[in-house]
């Protein structure tokens, strides 16, 4: 059946199928009892009333109750054979839910007939639970030696219940409690075994997606180097597989061996890091970024095009990023920090804006540093050589990061917080005039003087009402033009995918979603176009579009949303960047006076690529 319906044959789907069969068998058993009815069955059917609806409603509740009770029994049996130091057991986590479910079932049976409760406990409940016991015995043998066999079985059961759907359960409180139970069981399993072993068990059981969604937001902050190496290796493997499946590599670049494919997966990881960093800064309402910060974010997110020039095309780069985000979208580097800063802003609004900005950006650069450091440890442990182009990308990104990190670390330390050491390296304030060109240094110096009040702000910064209106008009027109370009690209891609589907060729899940999304965008474009055709001024159209984005964002087609428009802006800005002009920045960052050497504080220190002498490193960066 799995082959005919294209359903993945795993243990979760197997449990869902048994739940369906258990519910059906309970309904059949109730009908065989032939309970006395108040009204004739034929008369009830004549007026459109289903006399069997009452037991069909609780049939799935009975099946879920039997499943959870069987899971508790298996866990109790397994726990007797091993000594565990867990502070809480599976039975304690499931106790409240099973008790509530039992009371709900018994009350419904009692309302029909008092004898049904005794029949349910002595006859029906053991029979239905017996449908799950053989499966659990077989699976527990497969998990033997893991130390968390009972917990994995319990997680599989809860995942199957959630997949069954709240509509069949007819009990919203049960669906909510299942979500809480899954979180507790995941955390319990994580405290007992390593993350790589837990991932292996989750993939075997069939709840890998739930595992990734739960732990993908807890990667940072992390003091465990092995965990960071595991996550980077997992991301790299998943991206390599996805690029093959989605045909991102074939036809785009002449890849000769596995190494070049792995290089693209590494670039995908750092492009995703740049994208998530940009989105996090945007959510924190930070807009006036310094030039060196924007350079770092642009190069991190779109620097792939300097190694593979074909990705400079909007269509190719969009496909690349769509595959990356679909495959590792569960990875959230800033989940913990977002909650921290968001709650802090709601509690108090008395923070100084500049100080808050510097603290947030310091956190952002520290996260980026941790990812670079984790990749260095991963590269060390795997002993895989890095391509020269990829190495140049990493060193150049690191140089830009070091400039940003030192600047905002110094500002963060002046704000009264405790300065912390990273691997024993002392970061010091940097004179930016030594870092880049003379023009760049003068811009940074001028920004610093404006902050200190040495240079009065120009009146042109505020502008007149006319200049504000014109700037809004230009911005809206640019956004509409870029959104139209994106929509045209989406339509062309979807037409090719649709023709591919008509010809009987296999279409991936991402491609199906792409077709559906494009059709939805075209449908939502119609009412927006009608509003834009209303005879008002250009400023009125801009104001109308802004109001729709703010109050009815679902009405805006995705090509005109800020997230995709900002991606296009990043790509265009990166194309204009002159990479060769950064050689002085890299040289000063690694070999200049007053700055630490790469081997002392670099996040890539310790890897084989940094065991060479200073002269060879300088040659590599310049090449």
pLDDT at position 404: 83
Q: What is the mean pLDDT of the chain?
A: 76
Q: For residue 539, is it within any domain?
A: yes
Residue range 572-601: mean pLDDT, rounded: 53
- Give the model confidence (pLDDT) of 461-478 as tens digits: 445 666 666 676 677 778
Asked if residue 22 has pLDDT above 90, the reply is yes
Asked, for residue 186, whether it belongs to a domain, the answer is yes
Model confidence band, residue 320 (pLDDT cutoffs 50, 70, 90): very high
- 122-134 per-position pLDDT tens digit: 999 999 999 998 8
For residues 608 and 511, state if they share a domain. Answer: no
- Most confident listed range (407-421, 529-543, 547-561): 547-561
Same domain, 199 and 63: yes
Lowest mean pLDDT among 30-44, 90-104, 417-431, 551-565: 417-431
Cβ neighbour number for residue 265 with a 10 Å cutoff: 20
240 and 315 belong to one structural domain:
yes
Q: Residue 445's pLDDT is what?
A: 41
Region 495-515: what's the mean pLDDT? Answer: 88
Q: In the predicted model, is pLDDT for residue 556 greater than 50?
A: yes
Question: Among 60-74, 200-214, 437-451, 454-468, which is the least confidently predicted range?
Answer: 437-451
- Res 183: pLDDT: 92
Mean pLDDT computed over 555-581? 82
**Would you place residue 32 in the very low, low, confident or very high pLDDT band (cuts 50, 70, 90)?**
confident
442 or 107, which is more confident? Answer: 107
Residue 155 token pair: 């997680």
Q: Are residues 155 and 125 in the same domain?
A: yes
Residue 356 pLDDT greater than 90, yes or no: no
Helix (H, G, I), strand (E, B) or coil at 422: strand
Residues 128 and 270 grouped into a single domain: no
Out of 215, 234, 251, pick the residue that ends a domain. Answer: 215
Q: Select from 129, 159, 157, 136 the least CA-distant residue to 63.
A: 129
Is 280 part of any domain?
A: yes
In the predicted model, is pLDDT for residue 286 greater than 50?
A: yes
Confidence of residue 159 (pLDDT cuts 50, 70, 90): very high
Same domain, 191 and 244: no
CB 63 within 8 A of CB 165: no
| 192 and 333 assigned to the same domain | no
Give dist(CA 468, CA 471) in Å, integer.
Answer: 5
266 within some domain: yes
Q: DSSP string covering 136-198, please?
A: HHHHHHHTTTSS-HHHHHHHHHHHHHHHH-HHHHT-HHHHHHHHHHHHHHHHHHHTTS-HHHH
Closest CA to 267 of 315, 235, 234: 235
pLDDT at 503 over 70: yes
pLDDT of residue 463: 53
Buried b (16+ CB within 10 A) or exposed e, 524-547: bbeebeeeeeeeeeeeebbbbbee
Q: Are residues 307 and 415 in the same domain?
A: yes
Is it the case that residue 300 has pLDDT exceeding 90?
Answer: yes
Across 150-159, 590-599, 611-620, the highest mean pLDDT is recorded for: 150-159
At residue 418 the predicted structure's pLDDT band, cuts being 50, 70 and 90, is very low
Domain count, the chain: 3
Q: Are residues 292 and 392 in the same domain?
A: yes
Q: Which of 215, 238, 269 is the last residue of a domain?
A: 215
Q: Of 215, 242, 261, which residue sits at a domain end?
A: 215
Is 454 within a domain?
A: no
Within this chain, do residues 588 and 561 fall inside the same structural domain, yes or no? Answer: no
- The alpha carbon of 495 is separated from its chain's Cα centroid by a whole number of angstroms, namely 29
Statement: residue 274 has pLDDT above 80? yes
- Ranking 60-64, 101-105, 347-351, 376-380 by mean pLDDT, the lowest is 347-351
588 shares a domain with 555: no
In terms of average pLDDT, the best of 87-96, 495-504, 538-547 is 495-504
Side-chain half-sphere exposure of 226, counting CA atoms within 13 A: 4
CA–chain centroid gap for 566, Å, is 19
What was the pLDDT predicted at 285? 84
- Cα 142 to Cα 132: distance, rounded to the nearest angstrom: 16
| 84 and 138 inside one domain | yes
> Residue 191: is its pLDDT beyond 90?
no
Give a yes or no: residue 532 inside a domain.
Answer: yes
**CA 478 to CA 472: how far, in whole Å?**
10
Q: What is the mean pLDDT of residues 334-343?
A: 77
The rounded distance, in Å, linking the Cα atoms of 608 and 569 is 36
* pLDDT at residue 456 greater than cutoff 80: no
Per the structure, the complete domain to which residue 77 belongs is given by 2-215
The pLDDT tens digits for 39-89 are: 455 454 544 445 456 777 889 999 999 999 999 988 888 776 555 555 578
Judged against a pLDDT cut of 50, whether residue 244 lies above it is answered with yes
Q: Where residue 360 falls among pLDDT bands split at 50, 70, 90?
A: confident
Instruction: Determine, yes or no, domain membership for 435.
Output: no
pLDDT above 70 covers what percent of the chain? 71
Chain-centroid distance, C-alpha 404: 25
Q: What percent of the chain has pLDDT over 90?
A: 23
Domain contains 458: no
Q: Stretch 114-126: mean pLDDT, rounded?
A: 89
Q: How confident is the model at residue 562 (pLDDT cuts 50, 70, 90)?
A: confident
Secondary structure (3-state) at 425: strand
> Please, what is the Cα angle at 15 between 10 and 19, to 5 degrees?
150
- Of 192, 243, 240, 190, give the one whose Cα is nearest residue 219: 190
């Amino acid at each position: 059946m799995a082959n005919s319906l294209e359903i993945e044959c795993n243990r979760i789907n197997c449990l869902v199928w048994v739940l369906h069969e258990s519910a059906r068998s309970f309904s059949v058993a109730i009908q065989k009892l032939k309970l006395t009815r108040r009204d004739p069955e034929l008369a009830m059917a004549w007026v459109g009333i289903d006399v069997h609806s009452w037991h069909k409603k609780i049939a799935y509740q009975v099946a879920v109750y039997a499943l959870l009770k069987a899971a508790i029994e298996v866990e109790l049996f397994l726990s007797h054979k091993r000594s565990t130091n867990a502070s809480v057991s599976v039975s304690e986590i499931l106790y409240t839910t099973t008790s509530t479910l039992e009371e709900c079932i018994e009350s419904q049976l009692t309302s029909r007939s008092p004898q049904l409760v005794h029949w349910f406990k002595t006859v029906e409940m053991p029979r239905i639970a017996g449908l799950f016991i053989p499966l659990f015995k077989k699976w527990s043998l497969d998990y033997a030696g893991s130390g968390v066999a009972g917990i994995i079985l319990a997680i599989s059961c809860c995942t199957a219940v959630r997949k069954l759907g709240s509509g069949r359960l007819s009990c919203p409180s049960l669906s909510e409690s299942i979500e809480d139970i899954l979180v507790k069981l995941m955390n319990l399993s994580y405290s007992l075994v390593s993350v790589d072993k837990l991932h292996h068990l989750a993939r075997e059981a069939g709840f890998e997606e739930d595992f990734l969604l739960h732990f993908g937001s807890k990667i940072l902050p992390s003091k465990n180097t092995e965990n960071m190496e595991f996550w980077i290796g997992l991301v790299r493997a998943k991206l390599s597989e996805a690029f093959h499946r989605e045909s991102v590599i074939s036809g785009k670049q002449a890849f000769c061996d596995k190494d070049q494919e792995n290089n693209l997966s590494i670039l995908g990881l750092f492009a995703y890091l740049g994208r998530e960093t940009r989105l996090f800064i945007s959510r924190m309402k930070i807009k006036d970024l310094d030039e060196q910060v924007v350079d770092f974010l642009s190069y991190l997110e779109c620097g792939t095009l300097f190694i593979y020039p074909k990705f400079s095309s909007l269509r190719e780069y969009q496909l690349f990023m769509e595959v990356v985000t679909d495959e590792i979208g569960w990875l959230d580097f800033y989940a913990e920090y977002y909650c921290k800063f968001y709650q802090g802003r709601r509690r108090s609004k008395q923070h100084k804006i500049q100080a808050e900005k510097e603290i947030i950006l310091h956190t952002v650069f520290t996260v980026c540093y941790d990812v670079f450091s984790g990749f260095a440890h991963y590269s060390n442990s795997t002993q895989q050589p890095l391509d020269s182009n990829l190495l140049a990308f990493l060193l150049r990104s690191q140089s830009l990061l070091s400039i940003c990190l030192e600047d905002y670390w110094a500002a963060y330390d002046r704000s009264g917080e405790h300065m912390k050491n990273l691997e024993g390296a002392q970061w010091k304030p940097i004179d930016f005039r030594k870092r880049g060109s003379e023009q760049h240094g003068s811009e940074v110096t001028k920004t610093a003087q404006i902050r200190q009040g040495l240079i009065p702000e120009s009146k042109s910064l505020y502008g007149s009402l006319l200049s504000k209106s014109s700037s809004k008009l230009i911005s809206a027109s640019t956004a509409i033009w870029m959104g139209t370009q994106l929509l045209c690209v989406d339509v062309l891609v979807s037409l090719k995918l649709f023709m591919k589907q008509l010809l009987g060729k296999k279409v991936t899940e991402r491609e199906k979603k792409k077709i559906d999304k494009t059709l939805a965008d075209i449908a939502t474009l119609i009412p927006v176009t009608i509003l834009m055709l209303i005879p008002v001024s250009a400023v009125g159209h801009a104001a109308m579009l802004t109001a729709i984005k703010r109050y009815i964002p679902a009405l805006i087609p995705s090509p005109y949303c800020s997230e995709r428009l900002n991606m296009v802006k990043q790509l265009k800005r990166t194309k204009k960047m002159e990479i060769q002009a950064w050689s002085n920045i890299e040289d000063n960052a690694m070999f200049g006076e007053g700055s630490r050497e790469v081997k002392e504080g670099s996040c890539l220190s310790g890897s084989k690529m940094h065991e060479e002498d200073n002269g060879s490193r300088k040659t590599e960066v310049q090449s």
